[in-house]
Amino acid sequence: MKRLGVNIDHVATLRNARGGFHPDPFLSAKQAMVYGADSITIHLREDRRHIKDIDLKNISKSKIPLNLEMAANDQMLKIALKYKPNFICLVPENRKEITTEGGINILKNLSKIKKIIKTLNQNKIRTSLFINPNLNDIKLSKQVNSKCVELHTGKLSDLIKLKKNYSNEYIKIKKCAKYAKSIGLEVHAGHGMDYNTTSLLSKIKDIEEFNIGHFIIGESIFAGLNKIIKKFKHMSK
């Protein structure tokens, strides 16, 4: 069975919409763990549009296995070394994007990424790079001594949702996973995953971990509405 990292960024999005404390990302992290998540993923963005430093502080102080997604820069590295999450995944960050639209450009940032990964490895934080599924980026990930790669599944997810032919993209991900594993990298996958994508990607044995956020948080609304509305109706009898 593959490990499941639950990304709770969008619990924070909802909390921030009202500027208060509800729903609390830390509570959602604790509950996700109780219900079987293997780890919790959060992305501390430069603009703090969802996860805030207090969320990182609360979760990192607990015993929850934490995967921090962050941009590859010195400011974020400083924060990472302060809170020492168990895992770090370096992601590209573009202020105008709605979500992480593609993998990190390793070649363009080679020396910076290598330096950050070295520091994280020395601090015993498991390192990962969020990359587009291509062999070149896998070779570069190995070259900069990352321990894992996370293959961006956004394109595959979009093709499946649009009912378009996805077989080339699926084969590409499968080949990348096999190659990455063969050179000693642990393989993860994530972005845009839902039930369909997950059931398809579960067939790829070389993938060890999924990181899923938006769909889990969105779908939880439908799983929970029944219970919450019944409770309110009962209370207002």
The number of residues making up the chain comes to 237
Residues ≥6 apart with Cβ < 8 Å to 87 = 39, 65, 66, 67, 68, 125, 126, 127, 128
69 is catalytic: yes
91 forms part of the interface with ligand PXP (CB under 6 A): yes
Residues 59-78 within binding reach of ligand PXP (CB under 6 A): 69
Residue from 64, 191, 204, 206 touching ligand PXP (CB under 6 A): that is 191
197 forms part of the interface with ligand PXP (CB under 6 A): no
109 forms part of the interface with ligand PXP (CB under 6 A): no
Question: Which string of b and e fits 149-164 if b means at least 16 CB within 10 Å?
Answer: bbbbbbbbbebbeeee
To the nearest whole angstrom, how small is the minimum distance from the Cβ of residue 146 to ligand PXP? Answer: 13
Stretch of residues binding ligand PXP (CB under 6 A), selected from 15-23, 135-143, 186-194, 219-227: 186-194
Among residues 69, 93, 150, 209, which one is catalytic? 69
Binding site for ligand PXP (CB under 6 A): 7, 9, 43, 69, 89, 91, 99-100, 130, 150, 190-193, 211-215
Catalytic residue numbers, as ranges: 43, 69, 191
